């Protein structure tokens, strides 16, 4: 019964998106302005209907209604309710449903927030979002229908993929990723909406596009970092990034979105790079769809890939339509996007943004090439090959290091034309910090050139960006006589976009230091320990106390109790575990980590003796790992600043 209700809701959502996405634009183009209300109504109706379907699915999952195919596929009576609820995005059909819901949510938010705005920009933006929604609705009533009837009704199901029911971050990473990925549709919709409304040359749409891009960028950044964290906490190898095709798929649009967030300022300030910005918006959206295609079609093998079916062909058709339509619209209108200003000097913020965009684009193409290489190689030479970490590291490290450097230089430079002497004065102290950081790193044993450069530029750029806060605060303190910390807060709050940007820079730099330190100074060892025996890594002793087993409803857990000792004192007790799920041949590891600000002690249970007399433990010491997550948090905080409106309008920028 509920099954049919949900399916009908999806059919009506499909009809709403046809009316608002296909019929309405023709009416709007003929000047029938009453259709503006139709588009709005369709967007809201679509949201309500997809919500009905999604809530129905959630209820069915929680009530173990195995008569619904998706529940029978991912549900299990033994799985805890929390993991049952989040298995909504645990397999293909459910994730498409969730995707459609996030898209409907964004569309409704765009229309609602801009409900008082005049003109045709927002209606056409709604049209584009409904057209994208239409594609997902076709999938949902067709090849990815999660609401098939199962008969006879099974008594129980296999439960979600073990990797998805093993850690709480699985409740965070996927939804953030969807919010980030789907959020990139909004700037795209604004761009295409502006083209359709004939307002591409105006500034109205680019401001809206920037705001929505920051929002989506915030989600995507948080998602990528949550994914790294999850990988670190669950996979048992002590790493957080492996250039897996699907990790890359989330990172590639992040790079173009980051480039856009910088170059859009050049357009707002100087009226330049209009066509380039349009390309970045369209490219980012196309890359999110490409990324989805790579994950959902089974075209490239990856730990993240979902099982595939005919759905790949639907996605291919969609990509083709998006690519062709976007290219036609952009190229066909390129003459209307002529630049108003021109670059004055290579020593200016404008120029740094240009170089930054160049580097980010090179970065993007490098990762894209590496990701698609297996496909190209098989097409050309007929062999299955893939390029691994060495390719990505070697190709991208120089770009990353240069970007770290630019993060310090850019904020210190004025628009249009900089004064070399002033720049030197302003960057003197940061340069000192950078050199000090590099010397300290070398003294501590860093030898890899890129690691040394990372510390050098990170020290430099952190100091430069912190300096911008201090600089701004001092000015206000002198003018208003406020204490420095209050002055800094008020200046930052007055121009949140600018200081949000600096904060994000500081976050990226902290993040980079965490990565450089943890990969350079990582030490590890593996040992077979009997009860009471110990191993030592980097001055820290791990002593095996106990090997134990526990039956839980949905799995069997084997664990080791290990005392972490330093100088004879027990500083922590860790319990790395192995979880055995009925549907998985291999145990799912659950490492245990002791984190301090200086670094992590990471233990993984590799093997155990069935009689409980001993275990094989892998022990990894990685310095500064927590700073990766702290840096990630700072980036996100910066992005939050980037979307909130300024408190006073006395700042130097005008918000959309």
> Which span (85-93, 331-339, 403-411, 523-531) binds another protein, by CB under 8 A?
331-339
Among 340, 421, 585, 654, binds another protein (CB under 8 A): 585
- Binding range to another protein, per CB under 8 A, among 21-29, 30-38, 253-261, 369-377: 369-377
DSSP category for residue 558: E
Query: Is 192 one of the binding residues for another protein (CB under 8 A)?
Result: no
Q: How far is the CB of 513 from another protein (least distance, A)?
A: 36
CB of 217 or CB of 315, closer to another protein:
315
Q: Per rule CB under 8 A, is residue 4 in the interface with another protein?
A: no
Residue 332 touches another protein, criterion: CB under 8 A: yes
CB of 323 to another protein, least distance (A): 4
Q: Does 154 bind another protein (CB under 8 A)?
A: yes
Note whether 28 and 127 are within 8 A (CB).
yes
Q: How far is the CB of 153 from another protein (least distance, A)?
A: 9
Per-residue binding string, another protein, 240-279, x by CB under 8 A, is ----------------------------------------
Return the number of other C-beta atoms located less than 10 Å from residue 551's C-beta: 7
CB-nearer residue toward another protein: 90 or 157: 157
334 lies in the binding site for another protein (CB under 8 A): yes
Q: Is 503 exposed, middle or buried (0-12, 13-18, 19+ CB in 10 A)?
A: buried
Determine the interface stretch with another protein among 151-159, 392-400, 406-414, 591-599 (rule: CB under 8 A). Answer: 151-159
DSSP output for 235-304: SSSS-S----HHHHHHHHHHHHHHHHHHHHHHHHHHS--HHHHHHHHHHHHHHHHHHHHHHHS--S--TT
Using the minimum distance from each CB to another protein, give the nearer residue, 379 or 654: 379
Closest approach of another protein to the CB of residue 316, in Å: 6
Bridge partners (DSSP) listed for residue 616: 528, 607
Please identify which residue in 15, 27, 372, 656 interacts with another protein, judged by CB under 8 A. 372
33-41, 261-269, 291-299, 523-531 -> range binding another protein (CB under 8 A): 291-299
Q: Examine residue 158 and tell whether it contacts another protein (CB under 8 A).
A: yes
Tell me the CA distances in angstroms from 178 to 91, 175, 216, 221, 239, one per residue in order: 14, 5, 9, 12, 24
The nearer residue to another protein, 312 or 612, going by C-beta atoms, is 312
Q: What are the beta bridge partners of residue 547?
A: 560
Question: How far separated are the first and last CA of the chain, in Å rounded?
Answer: 46
Residue 164 carries which DSSP code? G
Out of 331, 358, 598, 644, point to the residue binding another protein (CB under 8 A).
Answer: 331
The residue among 155 and 443 lying less far from another protein, judged by its C-beta, is 155
- Integer Cα distance of 361 and 18 in angstroms: 36
Helix (H) or strand (E) holding 59: helix 35-62
Contact 311, 319 (CB under 8 A): no
Q: Considering the complex, what minimum distance in angstroms separates the CB of residue 30 from another protein?
A: 18
Report residue 133 as tokens.
């929604």
Cβ-based nearer residue to another protein, 159 or 559: 159
Is 384 a residue that touches another protein (CB under 8 A)? yes
CA distance 132 to 139: 11
Cα–Cα distance, 459 to 308 (Å, whole number): 47
Select from 1, 81, 155, 479 the one that contacts another protein (CB under 8 A). Answer: 155
Phi-psi region of 159 (alpha: psi -120 to 50; beta: other; left: phi over 0): left
Question: Could you give the 3-state DSSP secondary structure of residue 480?
Answer: helix
Closer Cβ to another protein, 374 or 500, answer by number: 374
Q: Applying CB under 8 A, which part among 9-17, 351-359, 375-383, 477-485 lies near another protein?
A: 375-383
With contact defined as beta carbons under 8 Å apart, do 589 and 235 qualify? yes
Region of 245 on the Ramachandran plot (φ > 0 left; ψ -120 to 50 alpha; else beta): alpha
Q: Among residues 403, 398, 412, which one has the least CA distance to residue 259?
A: 403
Pick from 206, 204, 201, 189: nearest CA to 261:
206
Residue 142 interacting with another protein (CB under 8 A): no
CB 225 within 8 A of CB 634: no
Applying CB under 8 A, what is the total number of residues that bind another protein?
45
**DSSP-assigned states of every residue in 86-121:** HGGGSSHHHHHHHHHHHHHHHHHHHHHHTTT--SSH
636 preceded by a cis bond (ω within 30 of 0): no
Q: What's the min distance (Å) between Cβ of 126 and another protein?
A: 23
DSSP label of 306: P
Interior angle at CA 42, CA 40 and CA 48, nearest 5: 105
CB of 384 to another protein, least distance (A): 8
Query: Taking CB under 8 A as the rule, does residue 388 contact another protein?
Result: no
Contacting residue, 69, 369, 525, 528, with another protein by CB under 8 A: 69
Among 23, 172, 375, 397, contact with another protein (rule: CB under 8 A): 375
Question: Can you tell me which of 17, 46, 67, 73 binds another protein, judged by CB under 8 A?
Answer: 73
Cα–Cα distance between 157 and 163 in angstroms, integer? Answer: 16
Burial of 189 (0-12, 13-18, 19+ CB in 10 A): buried
Within residues 296-315, the interface with another protein by CB under 8 A covers 297-301, 305, 312-313
**Applying CB under 8 A, which of residues 37, 85, 113, 320 lies at the interface with another protein?**
320
Under the binding rule (CB under 8 A), the answer on residue 59 touching another protein is no
Scanning the structure block, which residue is given the tokens 């906490």? 233
Residue 155 CB, shortest distance to another protein, in Å, is 6
**Residue 586 makes contact with another protein by CB under 8 A:** no
Closest CB to another protein among 556 and 655?
Answer: 556
Q: Compute the least distance from the CB of residue 287 to another protein, in Å.
A: 11
Please report which helix (H) or strand (E) contains residue 524, including its range: strand 523-530
**CB 385 to another protein: min, Å:** 12
How far apart are the C-alpha atoms of 559 and 616, rounded to whole Å? 11
Indicate the residue among 198 and 633 with the shorter CB distance to another protein: 198
The binder of another protein chosen from 18, 242, 323, 362 (CB under 8 A): 323
Residue whose CB is less far from another protein, 1 or 155: 155
Nearest distance, CB of residue 379 and another protein, angstroms: 6
Q: Name the residues that contact another protein, by CB under 8 A.
A: 69, 72-73, 76, 150, 152, 154-159, 293, 297-301, 305, 312-313, 316, 319-320, 323-324, 327-335, 372, 374-376, 378-379, 384, 582-583, 585
């Amino acid at each position: 019964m509920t099954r049919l209700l949900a399916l009908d809701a999806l059919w009506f959502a499909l009809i709403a998106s046809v009316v608002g996405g296909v019929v309405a634009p023709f009416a709007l183009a003929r000047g029938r302005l009453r259709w503006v209300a139709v588009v709005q109504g369709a967007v809201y109706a679509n949201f309500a209907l997809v919500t009905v379907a999604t809530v129905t699915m959630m209820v069915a999952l929680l009530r173990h209604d195995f008569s619904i195919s998706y529940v029978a596929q991912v549900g299990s009576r033994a799985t805890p309710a929390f993991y049952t609820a989040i298995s909504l995005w645990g397999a293909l059909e459910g994730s498409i449903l969730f995707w459609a819901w996030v898209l409907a949510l964004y569309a409704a938010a765009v229309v609602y927030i801009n409900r008082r705005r005049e003109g045709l920009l927002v209606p056409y933006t709604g049209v584009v979002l409904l057209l994208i929604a239409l594609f997902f609705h076709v999938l949902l009533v067709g090849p990815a229908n999660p609401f098939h009837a199962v008969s006879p009704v099974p008594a129980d199901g296999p439960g979600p993929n073990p990797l998805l029911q093993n850690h709480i971050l699985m409740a965070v990473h996927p939804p953030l990723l969807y919010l980030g990925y789907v959020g990139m549709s909004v700037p795209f919709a604004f761009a295409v909406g502006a083209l359709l409304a004939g307002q591409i040359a105006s500034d109205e749409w680019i401001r809206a596009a920037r705001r929505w891009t920051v929002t989506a960028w915030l989600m995507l950044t948080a998602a990528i970092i949550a994914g790294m964290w999850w990988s670190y906490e669950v996979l048992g190898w002590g790493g957080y990034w492996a250039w897996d095709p699907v990790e890359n798929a989330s990172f590639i649009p992040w790079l173009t979105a980051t480039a856009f967030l910088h170059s859009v300022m050049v357009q707002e300030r100087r009226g330049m790079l209009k066509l380039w910005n349009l390309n970045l918006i369209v490219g980012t959206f196309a890359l999110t769809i490409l990324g989805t295609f790579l994950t959902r079609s089974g075209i490239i093998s990856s730990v993240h890939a979902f099982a595939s079916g005919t759905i790949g062909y639907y996605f291919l058709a969609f990509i083709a339509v998006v690519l062709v339509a976007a290219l036609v619209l952009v190229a066909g209108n390129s003459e209307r996007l002529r630049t108003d200003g021109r670059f004055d000097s290579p020593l200016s913020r404008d120029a740094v943004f240009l170089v930054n965009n160049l580097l980010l684009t090179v970065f993007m193409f490098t990762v894209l090439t590496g990701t698609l290489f297996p496909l190209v190689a098989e097409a050309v030479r007929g062999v299955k090959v893939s390029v691994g970490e060495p390719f990505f590291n070697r190709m991208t490290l120089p770009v990353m290091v240069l970007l770290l450097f630019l993060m310090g230089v850019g904020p210190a430079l004025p628009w249009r034309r900089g004064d070399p002497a002033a720049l030197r004065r302003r960057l003197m102290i940061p340069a000192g910090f950078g050199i000090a950081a590099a010397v300290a790193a070398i003294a501590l044993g860093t030898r890899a050139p890129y690691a040394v450069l990372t510390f050098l530029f990170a020290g430099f750029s952190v100091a430069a960006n912190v300096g911008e806060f201090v600089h701004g605060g001092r000015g206000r303190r002198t003018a208003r006589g406020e204490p420095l910390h209050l002055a800094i807060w008020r200046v930052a709050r007055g121009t949140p976009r600018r200081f949000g940007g600096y904060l994000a820079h500081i976050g990226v730099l902290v993040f980079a230091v965490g990565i450089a330190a943890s990969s350079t100074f990582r030490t590890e060892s593996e040992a077979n320990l009997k009860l009471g025996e110990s191993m030592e890594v980097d001055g820290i002793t791990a002593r095996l106390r106990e090997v134990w087993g526990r039956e839980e409803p949905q799995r069997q857990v084997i664990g080791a109790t290990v005392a972490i000792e330093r100088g004879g004192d027990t500083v922590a007790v860790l319990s790395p575990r192995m979880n055995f799920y009925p549907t998985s041949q291999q145990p799912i590891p659950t490492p245990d980590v002791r984190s301090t600000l200086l670094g992590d002690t990471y233990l993984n249970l590799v093997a155990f003796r069935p009689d409980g007399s001993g275990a094989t433990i892998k022990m990894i010491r990685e310095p500064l790992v927590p700073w990766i997550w702290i840096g990630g948090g700072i980036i996100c905080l910066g992005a939050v600043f980037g979307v909130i409106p300024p408190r006073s309008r006395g700042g130097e920028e005008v918000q959309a």
